[in-house]
Amino acid sequence: MHQGLRVTIVVPAYNEAATIAAVVDDFRAHPSVDEVLVIDNRSKDTTGSIARERGARVVHEEQPGYGFACRRGFDEAQGEIVVLTEADGSFRAFDLDKFLAYINSAPFVLGTRTTRQMVQQGANMGFLVRWCNVAMAKILELLWFYPHEPRLTDVGCSYRAIRKDAWMRIRGGCSHPGPAFSPEMICEGYRHGLRVVEIPVHYYARLGGESKHSDSFMKLAKTAAKMFQIIIRKRLETAPRPAVANAPATQN
């Protein structure tokens, strides 16, 4: 719990039996975490059963796709603060305190993996991956410069925190089934007038398995193209009524 608010960790997972136990153990050991919620997205291995054995709550999402798993996780989360992370161990619980330090004043806090000094050896953040994310972030910055003046460097970082009430405001516009869900969330945050901040996080090599979206040039190019399409489309959509989710959270 953080200042009277429950904290849920959402872990979308597809065939991550080799890594899920370490991820669940890591986040469950953090003193602020009330719930670790694993979204088993039609895994063909024992991901779900292992996560349950380690103390996570497991929900099965039958629609395949990272975006569907994330949506289900945000919807199912019992905490007032919801933190998204990866099932492969590339993010660690000790960075959670940084998200919680900002979440009262900014209802949507993004991680960034583009600070080179915090990218560990072997992490999937090579030159192309890094600069594709930076390029997409700068396009988003430019398109939303007025009135938000965002400062972003990584649209694809899946380590992020959002207040549950803020998620309920933007969820209607977050529908992409794949990895473009990540920048779509950011765009929806700006469309609804949310205060969005970005913080650097450590980024580690996967504990096992391989990336589903960026382990080859073709996968990376396909993901980048979808992200670009989403960013442009969201900027052209009619803006919703301004949100009022920027007020600091009140303690229970």
**Helix, strand, coil percentages for the chain (3-state, nearest 5):** 40, 15, 45
Q: How far apart are CA 59 and CA 43, in angstroms?
A: 12
Residues with Cβ within 8 Å of residue 177, at least 6 apart in sequence:
63, 64, 65, 66, 67, 68
Q: How far apart are CA 250 and CA 227, in angstroms?
A: 35
Helices and strands, counts by H and E, the chain: 9, 7
Within a domain: residue 194?
yes
Going by pLDDT thresholds of 50, 70 and 90, the confidence category of residue 241 is low
CATH of the domain at 159: 3.90.550.10
Per-residue model confidence (pLDDT) at position 119 = 75
Within a domain: residue 251?
no
pLDDT (average), residues 13-17: 96
Within a domain: residue 56?
yes
> Do the Cβ atoms of 200 and 101 come closer than 8 Å?
no
Whole-structure pTM value? 0.88
Within a domain: residue 2?
no
Say how many domains are in the chain.
1
pLDDT tops 90 at residue 244:
no
Within a domain: residue 1?
no
Domain that holds residue 87: 7-236
> Do the Cβ atoms of 40 and 61 come closer than 8 Å?
yes
Judged by average pLDDT, the poorest of 52-56, 94-98, 116-120 is 116-120
Within a domain: residue 193?
yes
Judged by average pLDDT, the poorest of 34-38, 92-96, 204-208, 211-215 is 211-215
Residue with tokens 């990866």: 86
How far is residue 203 CA from its own chain's centroid? Answer: 13
Q: What is the DSSP string of 131-170?
A: HHHHHHHHHHHHHTHHHH----S-TT---EEEEHHHHHHH
Within a domain: residue 62?
yes
Within a domain: residue 250?
no
